[in-house]
Chains A and B, each alone.
Chain A
């Protein structure tokens, strides 16, 4: 393995990792807010990508507007799903009845509904890539070659993560959301509208997934099946970093991107596909809470 290949693998791994981290953020946000793993997370990413594609190619809006439209559309979709389906499951549950399985199955069902709905449009038969926001010859950072789109992905991802950090740490709404996710009962006792906060969390998480979709869709060709593999990698990133830690999933995502590439150039390309699962197993065995996760706890899903 040459040093050039090593540096290139690390640089490209950071780019991919930022993408996994963004999607993982969306998953963890929902998990922290409602204790539900959103198995439709990948489909929200896919929907965001198609929303961006539609906005850019049919409506011919500028890129920043495509991001905004995807974010807003997915925000409302996530919020409506939370309000109509998940709250509905909770309302129908008898006192003391466990609802976690029903809610997880609801998210699984949602993933199929979204995929099936997207397939209704003949436009989605062909794989398509979003037009690049940034074009031009590749840039060289030492021996490493990068595209402007890659720089954009890393920059936007980091900016979004920073914005989320500021939102959760410094704004009142962010603190309220954190309080709700940490202890819903206590939050309710102090007058926080817990269901409304969970609705906002779902909306925000899905908006992030939508923005991720537009970002990723400019690099990877988009199809109705595009979300599944991305979701798997996001899960791996979340498990590595810690399902309860937002900074953790960022680190987990970037680490996963780098590890995959290093496995590819040192072992074989075939091994790339199994790398996330091997890493998941290792993390679950040696540090089940993840790198930056909180106290070790087990929940049956």
Chain B
């Protein structure tokens, strides 16, 4: 073979390799073209849990439409396919399959209920489709972390437990803490994180009362709490038992501060009405993942933006902003990837996201082994009429301990 022939062969080989690589690069993933990115969006839009899904989903759509009005992401507009998942694991699993195999979406952004998002986890990891939760905490889906699933935008149970314990110790200078949680995996999760923090800070958990979700009489747990003589009482109970706990604490003349996790107080004014006695709330605090009240200076712009987009939604639910947060993280990662968008690059970009949304208590952050977005909580003081944001926020370092 002559030198000239060899050179021609080399040049041709390089050209062929480049063409193949370029072709491989631009053998685009489904849901991506030069002009659009297709996202499958889902939340409960009907059934008893529609209140958790309707506003967050619409808020996410609103964010994507706003991005499109500003020119899209590197010239690509976001096209959303929205479905109702009824907060049901089977439904979410079926929708994941539909999105991927029929609608050929690039990624899925959905889920308002922890139990339901778990239904898609195995499928999306097997098919290597990015799945970013909407407003579900999704603890079982983010711990342990799997490559393609991102979530816990309102904070996981660990973040909640550490947040309220952090406030009890740092904010209220508590040294003897009584902790009331449910006797399920979520109760164990929030207590585990809380205990780890208490151990590090040298605070003592003097009572740990595990109560059933369906408890109708909290006499015994509260007598045990009273007998332990705590400085601060923490409750991670859900709404109905949370009301009973606040009532019983007042009934027994317990003057210690009571710090209630967000899951027990979705609407403070309804909580106050249920307790029925504002004197019981003289020393009452609750946690929340957001950085302000819905009509506070830091949140008002989101509320106004949403009301402009959906004028029929006179009173959006408190979960509305979680939908904006989730969509904001998605578009941030899409921006980071650039023009050469693939699912793998998107997941890699998500792992580098550190975003202060201006909505939540602290910046969102993911990482190589981390898939829970928010590890902080704000604290509000509530006197039965007005909520007041307490300074700062309380962060979880990710450590947990097995509850005794």
A residues near B (Cβ < 8 Å) are 2, 5, 8-9, 12-13, 16, 19, 119, 122, 125-129, 131-132, 135, 138, 145, 147, 220-221, 223-226, 228-230, 233, 257, 260-265, 268-270, 272-273
Across the interface, name the chain A residue whose C-beta is closest to B277. Answer: A135
Q: Is the CB of A269 within 8 A of B221?
A: yes
Q: Does B224 contact A265, Cβ atoms closer than 8 Å?
A: yes
The residue in chain B whose Cβ has the minimal distance to the Cβ of A262 is B220
Q: Is the CB of A264 within 8 A of B220?
A: yes
- A233 and B216 contact, Cβ closer than 8 Å, known pairs A127-B243, A127-B274, A132-B276: yes
Q: Which residue of B lies closest to A226 (CB)?
A: B240
Residue of A135, A224, A264, A270 with most partner-chain B CB within 10 A:
A264
Contact at B48–A269, with CB atoms within 8 Å? no
- Contacts A270-B210, A273-B183; A257 near B217 (Cβ below 8 A): yes
Using Cβ atoms and an 8 Å threshold, which residues of chain B touch A145?
Answer: 251-253
Given A147-B251, A221-B243, CB of A273 within 8 Å of CB of B215: yes
Query: Are B220 and A265 in touch, CB under 8 angstroms?
Result: yes
Q: Which residues of A contact B276 (CB under 8 A)?
A: 129, 131-132, 135
Say yes or no: A220-B220 contact (C-beta < 8 A), given A145-B252, A272-B211. Answer: no
- Distance in Å from the Cβ of A254 to the closest Cβ of chain B? 13
Q: A9 touching B215 by the CB < 8 A rule?
A: no
Q: How far is B240's CA from A260's CA once the two chains are assembled, in angstroms? A: 19
Other than the known A119-B48, A261-B219, A269-B220, what 9 A-B pairs have Cβ atoms closer than 8 Å?
Answer: A12-B217, A127-B243, A132-B276, A138-B251, A221-B274, A228-B214, A264-B224, A269-B221, A273-B183
Task: State whether B217 touches A2 (Cβ < 8 A).
Answer: no
The yes or no answer to B363 lying at the interface (CB within 8 A) is: no
Q: State A122–B52 Cα separation when bound (angstroms).
A: 12
A24 to nearest B CB, angstroms?
14
Task: Give Cα A163–Cα B357 distance, bound, in whole angstroms.
Answer: 63
Cβ contacts under 8 Å, B17 to chain A: none
Contact of A223 among B51, B240, B277 (CB under 8 A): B240
- Nearest B residue to A216, CB-CB: B216
Whole-angstrom CA separation of A170 from B249 in the bound complex: 45
Q: Pick from A125, A229, A265: contact of B51, CB below 8 A.
A: A125
Which residues of B are in contact with A by a Cβ distance under 8 Å? 47-48, 51, 183, 209-212, 214-217, 219-221, 223-224, 227, 239-240, 243-244, 251-253, 266-267, 270, 273-274, 276-277
Task: Please give the distance in Å from B404's CB to the nearest CB on chain A.
Answer: 12
Given A9-B220, A272-B212, residue A127 in contact with residue B240 (CB < 8 A): yes
Are A2 and B227 in contact, CB atoms less than 8 angstroms apart? yes
Q: How far is the CA of A120 from the CA of B60 in the complex (A)?
A: 26
Given known A-B contacts A220-B216, A269-B209, A269-B210, A264 and B221 have beta carbons under 8 A apart: yes
Complex alpha-carbon distance, A19 and B209, angstroms: 24
A228 to B253, CA, bound (A): 31
| A16 CA to B244 CA, complexed, in Å | 13
A226 CB contacts on chain B under 8 angstroms: 240
| Chain A proximity of B229: nearest CB distance (Å) | 12
Question: Which residues of A have CB within 8 Å of B267?
Answer: 126
Closest to B248 in A: A12
Ordered by A's residue number, 24 sampled pairs between the chains whose C-beta atoms are within 8 Å are A9-B223, A12-B219, A13-B219, A19-B216, A119-B48, A126-B266, A135-B276, A220-B244, A221-B274, A223-B239, A223-B240, A229-B216, A257-B217, A262-B220, A263-B220, A264-B220, A265-B224, A269-B221, A269-B224, A270-B183, A270-B211, A272-B211, A272-B221, A273-B215
**Nearest CB in chain B: distance from A259 CB, A:** 11
Whole-angstrom distance between the Cβ of A165 and the nearest chain B Cβ:
26
- Measured CB to CB, the closest approach of chain A to B264, in angstroms, equals 10
Instruction: Kindly list chain A residues whose C-beta atoms are within 8 Å of the C-beta of B240.
Output: 127, 220-221, 223, 226
